[in-house]
Amino acid sequence: MSVVIQKSVKILHTIQALNTQLAQPRKEGLKIGLVPTMGALHQGHISLVKAAKKQVDIVLVSIFVNPTQFNNPEDLKAYPRTIEEDTALLLEAGVDIVFAPEAEEMYPLAPMLKFDFGYLESILEGAFRPGHFNGVGVVVSKLFNITKPDFAFFGQKDLQQVAIIRKMVEDLSFQLELVIVPTVREEDGLALSSRNRRLSMEDRAKAILLSQQLRVARVELLAGRSWFDIQIEVTHKFDQCSGVRLEYFELVKTNSLEIASEANIEQVDLKNYSLCTAAFVGDVRLIDNLPI
């Protein structure tokens, strides 16, 4: 079933309808680009669409709030769902196809398959969101199999998710190319996120602490200061901010996410590293990262 928004833009809700719509472009050898999202779209998502439009013939955006990647039922319940706003934004951006399935379409039966991403599941986001990356692996692999894109576009803001998906693509031999698009930020530095709309005005002002401290830490690192001294000072800054609770602030290898430690800090080549952080601002959990 599909609803025509414009001659060149369709919203499709079933896998069968999507396959029908993509049959001719595939036959013609047109390049298909997938932008997977969970909706509540913002200009960060649109930057992915713009990147896709430069490289492919057909831009396909999926909108699906994936229940299997939420370890907290309340977080799933609170996740914003703004399908009408989203489709209007995508229409303006010139997207060709929107795939917006219901949960029953993606999961007619509860998935039994389990992904094991090794140490990537026990650090950073994996340590605080058990089961999250299994859910990501399942839904993204399903989307890859359903849409069979030539390119898939992801944001650098979810750096650990990018590492997980890159590993999955390599291990399972998906015939596609990953394109990673830089993080888009507000003027004050706050990384764009669907969760930002849940922040109160007071908490929105506090949320810039994440990007602010990432920038401070990068400057200090490039000036030659000890990473562990910087980490202690940053943690103290978060502790001093009422209503903000830091979960982690780490220096990691950008591609492998290996965490800098006493054992390997002497071999650190900063150009291959990124800073990663996560914190609760009020009751909203935000993540951010910054390449060195």
Which residue ranges are tagged as binding site for ATP?
38-45, 155-158, 184, 192-195
Alpha-carbon Rg for the chain, nearest whole angstrom, is: 20
The letter for the amino acid at 138 is V
Residues at the binding site are 38-45, 69, 155-158, 161, 184, 192-195
What is d(CA 139, CA 73) in angstroms, rounded to the nearest whole number? 17
Cβ partners under 8 Å of residue 104, min gap 6 = none
Q: Contact, 58 vs 32, CB < 8 A?
A: yes
Q: Contact, 59 vs 35, CB < 8 A?
A: yes
**Cα–Cα distances in Å, from 253 out to 163, 189, 261?**
11, 23, 11
Q: Contact, 167 vs 255, CB < 8 A?
A: no
**Cα–Cα distances in Å, from 92 out to 1, 52, 61, 86, 102?**
22, 15, 13, 10, 24
Active-site positions?
45
